[in-house]
Amino acid sequence: MGGYLWLVWYEAASKLTPKHWTLAVTYEAHDRAYATVASEHTGRYTSRVIRRVHLTSNHPSGAYGGRILLGEVNDNVLCSLEAYSDTAAELVNTQNRKRGQNSSNCQDWAHIIVRSLEDAMLLPQASQAGSLARLEKCPRAG
């Protein structure tokens, strides 16, 4: 059984602050689909996988803003999402120690995971229409 990987973003507190990004996997491609969502938390980043939330639900960090389909995925992505999320969170924490805690990097976290999934050939490969290219087009701030 296959699924869909989405990048979901939430409204920012102001036009100057970054939007919060998260990743979601669904088995259906419509707004009311239930998703498994991988997210992270600011400060010392820790990943969290939440199951059975609506794709377009609000997030504790803000109101739902939009989404983009990154690609069709197989069950291996859903099974390994937590491990990818944990690894990405640790990489972000390492980077935070170098550049300071006030850096916003849920977007870095999402990039690391999508690039890793592409490298593992679990998402469409990098190209004009690849997942990472679509992710680059997503809104970053307010």
- Give the pLDDT confidence score for residue 116 in this predicted structure: 86
What's the whole-number mean pLDDT along residues 93-120?
77
Please report whether residue 39 resides in a domain: yes
- Among 35-39, 40-44, 74-78, where is mean pLDDT lowest? 40-44
Please report whether residue 103 resides in a domain: yes
Helices 106-119, 75-99: inter-axial angle, 10-degree rounding: 130
What distance in Å separates the CA atoms of residue 78 and residue 34, rounded to the nearest whole number? 13
Please report whether residue 29 resides in a domain: yes
Going through the chain in order, the beta strands assigned E by DSSP cover 2-10, 20-26, 34-40, 47-54, 64-74
- Give the pLDDT confidence score for residue 42 in this predicted structure: 56
pLDDT tens-digit map of 22-35: 888 898 988 888 88
Please report whether residue 142 resides in a domain: no
Please report whether residue 141 resides in a domain: no
CB atoms within 10 A of CB 29: 12
Q: Which residues contact 1 (CB under 8 A, 6 or more apart)?
A: 27, 75
Identify which of 16, 43, 20, 40 has the alpha carbon closest to the alpha carbon of residue 102: 43
The residue segments making up the domain with residue 54 are: 2-136
Going by DSSP bridges, is the β-strand pair 64-74/20-26 parallel, antiparallel, or unpaired? unpaired
Secondary structure (3-state) at 16: coil
Please report whether residue 88 resides in a domain: yes
State yes or no: pLDDT of 13 exceeds 80.
Answer: yes
- Give the pLDDT confidence score for residue 67 in this predicted structure: 93
Secondary structure (3-state) at 79: helix
Q: What is the DSSP letter of 125?
A: P
In the chain, % of residues over pLDDT 90: 8
Please report whether residue 87 resides in a domain: yes
Please report whether residue 10 resides in a domain: yes
Structural domains of the chain, count: 1
- Give the pLDDT confidence score for residue 102 in this predicted structure: 56
Residue with tokens 């679509």: 134
